[in-house]
A and B are shown apart, each in its own frame.
Chain A
Amino acid sequence: MRLTPPVAVPMDVPPYGLSGTVYGALLNHRSALEALGEAVNRAPYLGAPRAPVLYIKPHNTLAASGDPVSVPPEVPELEIGANLGLVLGRAASRVAERDAFGYVAGYLIVNDVSVPHASCYRPAIRSKARDGFCPLGPRVVPRSAVADPDAVSIRIYVDGVLRQTASTAQLLRPAARLLAEVSDFMTLAPGDVLALGAAAPAPRVRAGQLVRIEIDPIGRLENRFVGGSA
């Protein structure tokens, strides 16, 4: 094989204009940390997280609204992590909390799909980084479309039944503070996405079910979960 550098990696994933890198904050919704209870103080954690607990959804996970999500044959159910996602408009490096929204171009819905896993000790790559495990969209709305990103309601419907209602008002680190703390050690690039945190308990779904996440100023992200890998 003859390789001509630079190796081009397709980044124009739907919805158009994203860099292809999605970062997310685990345990940033109050309910998610509370769900762990006293376990946060025991081994292996030995205390609540100090810095944001981040994960990466790599480009193989990205999917658009309407794409089917494959449930691996060896697991009965998957977890739905409904997030408000920031889309960066400018490179954000060591930004101050008060300036943070100036780096945000817009918002979208991020569904952080996971194979259920009890432990948060090791990075959950095999649980979170499977193909198609990060539906995003249905579009990027401009920053002006969301009046107060710290009071956004997020609803999950499974087969039309409301299964979870959450609000960004319950984030331990609200959007601006999270962006400030993350950008303190890693620069977020234009088109990068930062998912702000999902509530617990995460609804679980089986193959055959239709998941719809609604965030009013953005729209509906809808994906059917299907059996097997195509």
Chain B
Amino acid sequence: MRLARVAYAGAIHAAQPEQRPDGRPGLRLSDGRTVAEDEVVWLPPVEAGTIVALGLKYAARARELAFGATEEPLVFLKGPGTLIGHRGCTRRPADASFMHYECELAVIIGRTARAVSRAAALQHVAGYSIANDYAVRDYLENWYRPNLRAKNRDGATALGPWLVEAADIGDPGNLGLRTFVNGKLTQQGNTRDMITDIPTLIEYLSSFMTLSAGDLILTGTPEGVTNVAVGDEVVCEIDGLGSLRNTIVADSAFG
């Protein structure tokens, strides 16, 4: 099942994708109404608790950045204000020279996980979604890197379009990922190339911190990140999860 959260006609609704009678993609709201997908405001599919993100999780990307595979996973945290939903807009600061998308598989925890084994880890997953975890490299500093100013900006982590329940995804360790900028393929990878697979990540994280329902793990991005410009439409796709659209906007949109 695919579960979205949208705003429509003055209220927030749970919604599921459903084809409309005219063949266009639509959404069925929890109250029975069916609406077109561009008539709603898409919200992140979960009200996230803790947002854990991984850096350098793909072998080729780690090589790009000269990161040793034997080191401990590079983990950082994000605050809830960084999340926006499908079809949202992300701000590109005027003074940034290099801002890039990062298409990532997002794991949504469904059940408390504390010191879980690798073998049992996936039982704690509610589902999966697509994240586009933007970075502004100009603001990277070598203190708690990647620092929040580079990776935790308002609205700079798109999540969606929906949560796909874990039962509907056979093997999260074999999903193709792709990013298109203005329709052109710019990033391509597969979750099988992750340095640390999802069960191992959950085992690792839950060995020192309790994960709860609604917590997110953003599992890192493969190589192929490129600079984006104001007006660009960035679409991240993951097999079985759909595609997440985001538009880059200028400072001027924010007054």
Across the interface, do B49 and A59 meet the contact criterion of CB distance under 8 Å? yes
Q: Which residues 1-49 of B sit at the A interface, judged by CB distance below 8 A? A: 3-5, 12, 14, 45-49
Asked if B252 lies at the interface with its beta carbon under 8 angstroms from chain A, I say no
B163 within 8 A of A: yes
**Residue of A9, A45, A120 with highest tally of chain B CB at under 10 A:** A9
Known contacts A7-B46, A9-B214, A186-B153; is-contact A126 B148 (Cβ 8 Å): no
Decide if B111 is an interface residue (CB 8 Å cutoff): yes
Alpha-carbon separation in the docked complex, A131 to B211 (Å): 10
| A49 partner, pick from B81, B143, B208, beta carbons under 8 A | B143
- The residues of A that contact B148 with a CB separation of less than 8 Å are 23, 54, 56, 185-186
CB distance from B95 to the nearest CB of A (A): 12
Query: Which residues on B sit within 8 Å (CB–CB) of A122?
Result: 74, 144-145
Of B45, B82, B142, which one neighbours A5 at CB under 8 angstroms? B45
B127 A3 Cβ-Cβ under 8 A: yes
B180 is an interface residue with CB less than 8 A from chain A: no
Find B143's partner among A1, A7, A53 (CB 8 Å cutoff): A53
B144 near A9 with CB under 8 A, answer no
> Is B126 an interface residue, CB under 8 A from the partner?
yes
User: How many of chain B's residues touch chain A, expressed as a range?
Assistant: 35 or more
Contact A129 B208 (CB under 8 A): yes
Complex contact B126–A3 (CB within 8 A): yes
Q: Which A25-58 residues have a C-beta within 8 angstroms of B?
A: 26-27, 44-47, 49-56, 58
Does chain A have a CB within 8 A of B221?
Answer: no
B141 close to A49 (CB less than 8 A) = yes
Does residue B80 face the partner (Cβ distance < 8 Å to A)?
A: yes
Give the complex CA separation of A28 and B152 in angstroms. 19
For the complex, give the distance between the alpha carbons of A209 and B96 in Å. Answer: 48
Give the most central of B5, B146, B148: most A CB within 10 Å.
B148
Q: Which residue of B lies closest to A61 (CB)?
A: B209
Known: A27-B143, A189-B81. A9 touches B75 (CB 8 A): no
Q: What is the interface of chain B mostly: helix, strand, loop, or mixed?
A: loop
**Is the Cβ of B75 less than 8 Å from the Cβ of A56?**
no
Do the beta carbons of B154 and A58 come within 8 Å of each other? no
Whether A1 touches B154, Cβ cut-off 8 Å, given contacts A7-B46, A54-B144, A122-B145, is: no
Across-interface contacts of B81 in A (CB, < 8 A): 186-189
Q: Are B47 and A6 in contact (CB under 8 A)?
A: yes
Interchain CB contact under 8 A, B214 and A51: no
Task: Determine whether the beta carbon of A5 is less than 8 Å from that of B163.
Answer: yes
Chain B's nearest CB lies how many Å from the CB of A13? 11
Is the Cβ of A26 less than 8 Å from the Cβ of B50? no
CA distance A26 to B147 in the complex (A): 11
Residues of B within 8 A of A61 (CB): 209
Q: A26-B144, A27-B143, A54-B148 are in contact. Are A3 and B110 (CB under 8 A)?
A: yes
In the bound complex, CA of A27 to CA of B142 (Å): 13
- Select one of A1, A56, A123 contacting B111, CB under 8 A: A1
The reply to whether the CB of B92 lies closer than 8 angstroms to some CB of chain A is no
Q: List 24 A-B contacts (CB under 8 A).
A: A5-B45, A5-B46, A7-B108, A9-B47, A9-B214, A9-B215, A23-B79, A45-B143, A51-B149, A55-B144, A56-B78, A58-B49, A58-B209, A59-B50, A93-B154, A122-B74, A123-B77, A130-B208, A131-B209, A185-B152, A186-B153, A186-B154, A187-B154, A189-B80
9 more CB-based (< 8 A) A-B contacts, given A26-B144, A120-B144:
A3-B3, A3-B127, A7-B46, A51-B149, A53-B141, A58-B49, A58-B52, A121-B143, A130-B208
Residues of B within 8 A of A (CB): 3-5, 12, 14, 45-50, 52, 72, 74-82, 108, 110-111, 114, 126-127, 139, 141-149, 152-154, 163, 165, 208-215
